[in-house]
Amino acid sequence: MDQSVNLKAELEVKLKECEKNSDSRGKAATLHEMAKLEVSEGNQEQALLMLMEAYSRFQKLGDSKGHCFAGELLGQLLFVSGNQQDGLAVVREALRGFTEMGMSGEADKTAQLLAAMEEHAAV
> Under 8 Å CB-to-CB from 50, ≥6 apart: which residues?
31, 32, 34, 35, 38
**Band of pLDDT at residue 2, cut at 50, 70 and 90:** confident
Q: What is the pLDDT of residues 9-38, one digit of tens each?
A: 999 999 999 999 999 999 999 999 999 999
**Band of pLDDT at residue 1, cut at 50, 70 and 90:** low
Coil, strand, or helix at residue 103?
A: coil
Question: Residue 115: pLDDT above 90?
Answer: yes
pTM for the full predicted model: 0.92
Report the pLDDT value the prediction gives residue 74, as an integer from 0 to 100: 97
Report the pLDDT value the prediction gives residue 57, as an integer from 0 to 100: 97
Q: What is the pLDDT of residues 44-86, one digit of tens each?
A: 999 999 999 999 999 999 999 999 999 999 999 999 999 999 9
Report the pLDDT value the prediction gives residue 122, as an integer from 0 to 100: 75
